[in-house]
Amino acid sequence: MRELAKGVALAAVVQLVLLLAAEAGIRLWYHDVTTTSDNTSWFARRWQRDVRSNGLGFREREVGPREAGVGRIAVVGDSFAFGQGIPEEDRFSNRLEAMLARDAPDRRFEVLNFGFPGANTVDEVKTVRDVVLPAQPDFVLLQWYLNDVEGRGYAGYPQAWRLIPSDRVSGWLHGHSALYYFARTAWKRLQERLGWVQSYEDFLVQRFEDADSPSSRAADADLRQLIALCREAGKPLAIALFPTLGGLERLDFVRDRALAICRETATPCLDLKPALLPRKDEPGMRASRLDSHPGPRANEIAAEEIYAFLEPRWFATPGAVSERSLR
């Protein structure tokens, strides 16, 4: 029994050493990775340590009272607007402010970013009502993405079998181990391939493919409510629709419905798919090797497209941007 115990102890020590070596090797190999598509992973948590937040909880400077003579543009959105995995100065909102300063040195503009990871349209309605409108912007820009429709009702959300049964242990390892992130991701993908669990994309297609389903009608109502909220407040609104740079390709019908609502409500909408999708494999288009969120280059292209689309409206009058300038 003593010899057996020694053998078990030795095997445990060897296994622990191998796991620690694998952990160190993965961290070294992926040293350049900022975030993953899952923003609760070890990579994302490490990156988030250096991300600032203002008093309102957004990745932005402190938002004070509006200064006279300063044009104020508010950007609302999800993790795309937030700038997941990229430096703050590389976000399209920061680039827009730099472009305005470049082309209008005799005038001042500030582009405030109210993007938040995981925000859906229903959340953005609340952000606009409770935070953005009280900040008195001249103009509101909504950044929109395909899965922003899912904000109401998560019943039936696909849950894969956990790699480790304990929620507490699994959650701790996921937030503290790069090796566990890869093991858990591979285990989930295996379950999807074997048909044990529905994929996230399949789940969304099932919920929203029917335009008359309760989920689809609720999503359409949320977008219409946001448009109406800005219009009633007298704040011009435009929407920039971002395409997928990895995954969710089968949800393009959701984008088509959003564009239809734009046309119906006469809301200026910019579809960035033609500008971004053909270049999705170029360097800098993704936030990292493990994250398909827009990277610095994608944000640069988006800023150029948005600026060309909205610059005539922003410079239409010498004062604040007006509703008339949108017509």
Residue 99 has pLDDT above 90, yes or no: yes
- Per-residue pLDDT of 17-63, as tens digits, reads 898 999 999 999 999 999 998 888 999 999 999 999 999 999 999 99
For residue range 131-169, what is the model confidence (pLDDT) as tens digits? Answer: 999 999 999 999 999 999 987 655 567 788 888 888 889
pLDDT tens, residue by residue, 177-214: 999 999 999 999 999 999 999 999 999 999 999 999 99
The token pair at 197 is 């669990």
More confident of the two residues 85 and 154? 85
The pLDDT score that the predictor gives to residue 166 is 87
Looking only at the bridges linking them, the beta strands covering 70-77 and 139-144 are parallel
315 token code pair: 């410079």
319 pLDDT tier (thresholds 50, 70, 90): very low
| % of the chain exceeding 90 in pLDDT | 76
Question: What is the bridge-based pairing of β-strands 286-288 and 269-271?
Answer: unpaired
Structure tokens at 30: 């992926």
Average pLDDT over residues 224-241: 97
pLDDT band at 322 (very low <50, low <70, confident <90, very high): very low
Sheet containing 70-77, strands listed edge to edge, beginning at the edge strand earlier in sequence: 108-115, 70-77, 139-144, 237-241, 269-271
CATH tag, 53-153+202-326? 3.40.50.1110
Tokens of 295: 């990277």
Task: Write down the pLDDT at residue 316.
Answer: 59
CB 265 within 8 A of CB 287: no
Question: What pTM was estimated for this model as a whole?
Answer: 0.90
CA 153, CA 269: separation in Å to the nearest integer? Answer: 27
For 74-96, what is the mean pLDDT?
A: 97
SS3 state at 282: coil
Least confident span in 11-15, 251-255, 263-267, 316-320 = 316-320
Cβ-contact 250, 243 below 8 angstroms:
no
pLDDT at 230 over 70: yes
Residues 117 and 81: beta-carbon distance below 8 Å: no
Radius of gyration of the chain from its Cα atoms, rounded to whole angstroms: 23
CA gap 212, 218 in Å, rounded = 10
DSSP for 195-242 reads TSS--HHHHHHHHHSSTTSHHHHHHHHHHHHHHHHHHHTT--EEEEEP
138: closest CA among 225, 80, 83, 69? 69
CA dihedral 159, 160, 162, 167 (to 10 degrees): -10
pLDDT value at residue 159: 83
pLDDT at 104: 83
Two tokens at 116? Answer: 């938040």
pLDDT score of 248 more than 90 = no
Per-residue pLDDT for 130 more than 60?
A: yes
